[in-house]
């Protein structure tokens, strides 16, 4: 029998509880690899939003992402998107809560949303390249729905 430590002091959840928890987590988040694969398909089924400042977006962003800083997520910016459009937000990385702030704004507006965990840091860790430059017009980078 092992000596209790910070990992083992609290037993793991029962399997059915763990399954419910982890399935629920997937309703709120996605990862860089899955986003990359979906974007590469040409029909991702979501709009990817970089919620950092325009200056940080211009320095490097996920190719195909639109820039909409989390503080500017308001209904008037979303009128061209059907109400069921899924938005995926990301920010700098695990040390940044901008993606969560953006997701809160979408949820407050009654819009479907997930967070891309890892953000830019995770994207680079996965070996994916960044695009640079200013935000392209919406019609050039993403279509509603």
Q: Please, what are the domains in the chain?
A: 28-126 (3.40.250.10)
Digitized pLDDT (tens) for each residue of the chain, 145 residues in all:
678 899 999 999 999 999 999 999 999 999 999 999 999 999 999 999 999 999 999 999 999 999 999 999 999 999 999 999 999 999 999 999 999 999 999 999 999 999 999 999 999 999 999 999 886 544 333 444 4
In the chain, the DSSP E strands lie at 29-31, 47-50, 66-67, 87-90, 113-117
Q: Tell me the C-alpha distance between 129 and 126, whole Å.
A: 9
Maximum pairwise Cα distance, the chain: 61
Residues 115 and 99 sit within 8 Å (Cβ to Cβ): yes
Task: Output b/e per residue, 35-53; b: 16+ Cβ within 10 A.
Answer: bbebbeeeebebbbbbbbe
pTM above 0.95, yes or no: no
In 52-137, the DSSP E strands lie at 66-67, 87-90, 113-117
Q: Tell me the C-alpha distance between 5 and 40, whole Å.
A: 44
């Amino acid at each position: 029998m092992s000596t209790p430590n910070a990992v083992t002091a609290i037993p793991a959840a029962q399997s059915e509880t763990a399954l419910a928890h982890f399935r629920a987590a997937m309703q709120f988040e996605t990862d860089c690899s899955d986003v990359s694969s979906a974007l590469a398909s040409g029909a991702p089924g979501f709009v990817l939003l970089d919620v950092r400042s325009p200056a940080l977006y211009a320095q490097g962003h996920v190719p195909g992402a639109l820039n909409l800083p989390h503080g500017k997520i308001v209904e008037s910016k979303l009128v061209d998107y059907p109400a069921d459009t899924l938005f995926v937000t990301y920010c700098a990385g695990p040390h940044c809560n901008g993606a969560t702030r953006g997701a809160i704004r979408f949820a407050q507006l009654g819009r479907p949303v997930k967070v891309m965990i890892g953000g830019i840091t995770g994207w680079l860790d996965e070996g994916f390249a960044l695009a640079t430059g200013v935000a392209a017009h919406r019609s050039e980078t993403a279509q509603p729905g």
